[in-house]
Chains A and B, each alone.
Chain A
Amino acid sequence: MKRQLSDPASDGSDVSEDMEDDDEYAHYYYDNTDDLDIDKPKKSDDPEYFEYTILQVEDAERLLNEEIEALCSALKVPPSLAKMLLHIHDWQRELIIEKYQQDAEGLLVESNINSEKKALVNDKDTLTGSNPACPVCADNYPRDKFLGLTCGHSFCPNCWDMHFRVQIQQGVTMGIECMGQKCKVLVPESFLYSVLTDSKLRDKFSKLCFKDLIQGHPKLRFCPGPNCSVIIFAKEPRAKKVECSLCKSTYCFKCGIEYHAPTDCDVIKKWLTKCADDSETANYISAHTKDCPKCHVCIEKNGGCNHMQCSKCKFDFCWMCLGDWKSHGSEYYECSRYKENPNIANESVHVQAREALKKYLFYFERWENHAKSLQLEEQTLQKITSRIQAKVMENEGTWIDWQYLLNAAALLKKCRYTLQYTYPYAYYMDKGGRKQLFEYQQAQLEAEVENLSWKVERAEITDRGDLENQMDIAEKRRQTLLKDFLEV
């Protein structure tokens, strides 16, 4: 998509002076109104709505440079310094300008760009004779060869060069410090370039710097997809879903791992670590087969739907709790709710530990089960696709006629995905009214997702209107839950 150039027909005033932060990035996004793509929220009342842009490396470089130049002209400082200030202060330009105007020296000291006055040394004075020895290599050089930063620590150019070499090899770029003992003063890029001669290393430095800058920029993130080089730009960085149009990977903008609404970044990290640590304990429950609770015939789960029907006795039951399915349709649906032992505080440590494990396994089992259902439903989607293909070949309608089936499968996936991520959220929730409300909505969503799954698996014998109605209900439940519980 082409970037929009500034409008020459605008009123002609100098917009760059009082440009609002919001408008500044306006030319980096484009409207994405692809109505068929139900995965991308559009409406602003949608709790998952998120505006972001995919940038190529050059676009991102340009964006950084524009921000740097804007600060340069506001403060009348060189680019090398502006870049450091922005990087150190999370690119909060307004804040930097304000602080700089109040107390420029204070800001530079606080940012480790200048040395504190009282800590100033002057090595040039302590260097003795006209041919002093460098404090690092102990070799003698003419006095005027010595170089240093605002702190006054002076060293020979060879030592600086060597220092930069070693730091760059170790991957340090924006954070290279002066060689003085305990000296925190940072090396500006301009100083580094004036010393470092090796062109390969200069190149490496500039590449690593760019990486550092992007990683430190709150509105930018490298696409974590395998071998994907693009950069995601979000005007308002949030823990929202990004789908890379290039590599197709989806993830959370804020933390870069798999999307996890309604759970937040810290909690999902805690949960995933816990699951990795406890994987052995949890292994025993990953079996694929269970016995029918009525006639005890062995049943294998081969679809994503948790509403099971025994192939032998036709008993309808729930795969998770093995209870009668009939009780799952009502709001008394309790399969997703963990019932804690109310007297737990008075029990022994041993009993408490067992209870803690039981609680974890309860949530893990449901989390894991939805993950598996998602995989199985992926197969259902493939089956639907090939059946549609067959129908089209036999002139039973066109692709467009059958599109609703694919939409239903895609929506099911989306709803179940959110449902899966409600379990870590619930696990870490404190007891109380809010948890009750959450569990109520979770149960509602659980019920409608299973209804939808049941209908999608039987799509050809389900009435289209009935299916679309079910889609609508399931998505509404999902939205309701997210509106109430997704931190915006």
Chain B
Amino acid sequence: MAGLPRRIIKETQRLQADPVPGISAVPDESNARHFHVEVAGPVKSPYEGGTFHLELFLPEEYPMSAPKVRFMTRIYHPNIDKLGRICLDILKDKWSPALQIRTVLLSIQALLSAPNPDDPLDTTVAEAWKRDELGAIAQARQFTKEYAMGNKPPQ
């Protein structure tokens, strides 16, 4: 595998050998920097029972630059927009080369457990979340049922 940095190889191996509970990340057959990710909705969150498909890409500068991640399953969440883009500090200015794919995915899982409507990406969802939290949670549950249950991974 000439050309693929050793760090990426090691991280990939470890993700397979010692996977994070509730998360799977498999590299694409034709692109070792492109991962197909599945995150199980955390228990006691409105996403419980859902399986969320994400994709993750390690840019050329990785690990000096953060991985790029996005949801491919629709989700109702104040920090995730309609196109699946995620607002998470460690994917932006709080990135550190010491962080790994594993830590990023764990943080995304944590974000599902603890939405942060004060730092929103989707302002409509965030406003709904602040105005009527119970209603927003019900809506998130509805989305989970509709889009994240029994769904096949996208092509």
Contact = CB atoms under 8 A, between A and B. Distances in A.
Partners in one complex: yes
Interface of A: 135-139, 153, 155, 159, 162-163, 165-167, 177, 179-183
Contact of B65 (A137, A166, A179): A166
B94 to A, nearest CB: 8
Given A138-B10, A139-B6, A166-B64, A159 B97 contact: yes
A159 B9 CA distance: 16
Chain A binding surface SS class: loop
Interface of B: 5-7, 9-10, 61, 63-65, 96-99, 103
Given A181-B98, A182-B96, A162 B6 contact: no
Contact of B63 (A136, A139, A165, A177): A136
B98 A179 contact: yes
B61 A136 contact: no
Contacts of B97: 136, 155, 159, 163, 179
Contacts of A163: 64, 97
Nearest to A136: B97
A137 B5 CA distance: 7
Nearest to B6: A138
Contacts of B64: 159, 162-163, 165-167
A167 B10 CA distance: 25
B61 A180 contact: no
A183 B97 CA distance: 11
Contacts of A136: 7, 63, 97-98
A150 B134 CA distance: 48
List of 10 A-B pairs having minimum Cβ-Cβ separation, nearest first: A181-B98, A166-B64, A138-B7, A179-B97, A138-B6, A136-B97, A138-B10, A137-B7, A181-B96, A162-B64
25 contacts: A136-B97, A137-B6, A137-B7, A138-B5, A138-B6, A138-B10, A139-B6, A139-B7, A153-B98, A155-B97, A159-B64, A162-B61, A163-B97, A165-B64, A166-B64, A166-B65, A179-B96, A179-B97, A179-B98, A180-B98, A181-B96, A181-B103, A182-B96, A183-B96, A183-B98
Given A137-B7, A138-B7, 16 more contacts: A135-B98, A136-B7, A136-B97, A137-B63, A138-B5, A138-B6, A138-B9, A163-B64, A163-B97, A165-B61, A166-B65, A177-B96, A179-B97, A181-B103, A182-B96, A183-B98
Contacts of B103: 181
Nearest to A163: B64
Contacts of B6: 137-139
A167 B103 CA distance: 21
A167 B93 CA distance: 11
A183 B98 CA distance: 10
Contacts of B63: 136-137
A159 B98 CA distance: 11
Nearest to A172: B93
B31 to A, nearest CB: 20
Contacts of A179: 96-98
Nearest to B99: A181
A31 to B, nearest CB: 47
Contacts of A153: 98
Nearest to B7: A138
Contacts of A182: 96
A139 B63 CA distance: 13
Point out which of B65, B96, B97, B98 has the most chain A C-beta atoms below 10 A from its C-beta: B97
A400 B62 CA distance: 70
A166 B96 contact: no
B123 to A, nearest CB: 17
Contacts of B99: 181
Contacts of B65: 166
